[in-house]
Amino acid sequence: MAEAAIASLGKIGDEAAWEAIASLRKTAAPDRAPALTEASVRCAAGLAASGNHKTAIAAYQELLCPLSAGLHPPRSLEALLRLDKDRGEERILRAIRGSDSALKTGCHCRVRSLRSKQPRKGSPPSCPACNPRSRFG
C-alpha cells in the first residue's frame, strides 16, 4: 500500500509531490528506499518536462548525493547533464576532479562528448570501460 502511494507521488511530478517525497526520504524505513528512489526519478522527470528545471535539478542532485541511500541512478546523471545549460560540461569536470567514485565513473565516459570552445591541454582522462584496448591489456 505504501509503495503504491509513493509511486503515485512520483507520477504526479509537481513541486508539492517532490516536497512530500523528499520528506519521506528523510524519515522512511530503509526498505522503502527503492520505491522512493523510483518516485524521485519520475517526479524529477515530471518537473523537468513541465519546465520547472530549478526544482528538477535539485531533485536529481539529491539522488546523486552519497548520503541518499548510497544510490547513484544513471538516469539522474543523464538528466542533469541534459538540463545543464552547458550540457553538463562543468558538472562532468567537477565530478572527475572530485572524490565521489560512483559519480566519477559515470562522468569519465562522457569526457569525449564535451564540446568546449576552448582547447584542452593534454588528452582527456579515460577509463577502461571507455577504451576497449585497455581492457585486454
Q: What is the pLDDT of residues 81-113, one digit of tens each?
A: 788 888 778 888 887 788 777 677 666 666 666
Q: What residue ranges do the domains of the chain occupy?
A: 1-83, 88-115+123-137
The owner of cell 513541486 is 15
Q: Is the pLDDT of residue 130 over 90?
A: no
Nearest to 52 by CA among 44, 64, 60: 44
CB-based burial label for 117 (10 Å; 0-12, 13-18, 19+): exposed
- Compare 62 and 103 and report the one with higher pLDDT: 62
pTM: 0.64
User: Which stretches within 50-125 are classed as H helix?
Assistant: 53-64, 74-83, 89-97, 101-108
68 neighbors 62 (Cβ within 8 angstroms): yes
- CA-CA distances (angstroms) from residue 130 to 36, 59, 108? 31, 28, 8
For 108-123, what is the mean pLDDT?
59
The owner of cell 520528506 is 23
